[in-house]
Amino acid sequence: MDVSKALELCGGAARRPALARLGVDDASLRRAVRAGILQPARGLYALPTAAPEIVATLRNRELLTCVSAAPHYGLWALHAPAARHVHHRREEAVRNSSAVHHAGLHLPPPNGVPVAALADVLIHSLRCLPFAESLVMVECAVSRGDMTLDFLRGRLPGNRNGHAREVLRWVDRGAESLLETLARTYFRQAGIRVETQVFLDRVGYVDLLLDGWLVVELDGRHHADWAQVKKDHRRNNESVVQGFTALRYYYSDVVYSPADMVAQVLSVTPNEPLGAKGAA
């Protein structure tokens, strides 16, 4: 196999054994280095476009995990990590670096890329990250059918994993974005009954329906075009005509000011106060 193609399959960088498994021999590697393929360390090869964190992880013989592995698995993530989250079989090898070390693996990592198995990525995130950040990662994987809650719960026993199991208690299906996951959870924690992706005649699917009468739409767009703005307003108008109340929140509301969002929703006065019946 062509060296550049093999490196692309490995995420941009790889060690010689991984490339050998793809059919790349030493002579091809020598020619590739002369032609411009990088060799950051002995036995390590990289495309000029390889992500620095991947190269650093391979150089140190680590595996990316937790939130640092979210892009590899296409998981929702609220923030890019300030430091690499990694696993190394010897913790002392990471201790003096800027990386965050995660101990223990339950499954072997996938071949060819320096990334922990999905299950370990999620378990590490549940033990490491704040509630909202681990929740969106796990719910993304569970909603896609890539992971089950029972599998994760079975590997998080004891008091030290109480926080992780509490996150799992709020994981659900049906949300189409991390904003829906977070808003739904915050409203349910406030005792409000929440349905996701509810179809309303002449309106279409709405993101959230609270206690059967309050429509909440969530918008993660930074710059919506005017045609989309008009469509959103018409949907809101139609839902009001049908007797619903409609509120709209944006990324900053859900991620950075969730308490204010919940307080505003609770301040809306229906015939029966929101949250009166308890959480769904």
Domain spans, the chain: 3-50, 63-169, 178-267
Q: Are 268 and 178 in contact (CB under 8 A)?
A: no
In this structure, which CATH number among 3.40.190.10, 3.40.50.720, 3.40.50.300, 3.40.960.10 belongs to the domain 178-267? 3.40.960.10
Query: pTM for the complete prediction?
Result: 0.84
pLDDT at res. 15: 93
pLDDT for position 217: 93
Q: What is the model's pLDDT at position 272?
A: 59
- Residue 229 has a pLDDT of 65
Residues of the chain with pLDDT under 70: 91-96, 221-224, 226-233, 237-238, 241-243, 269-280
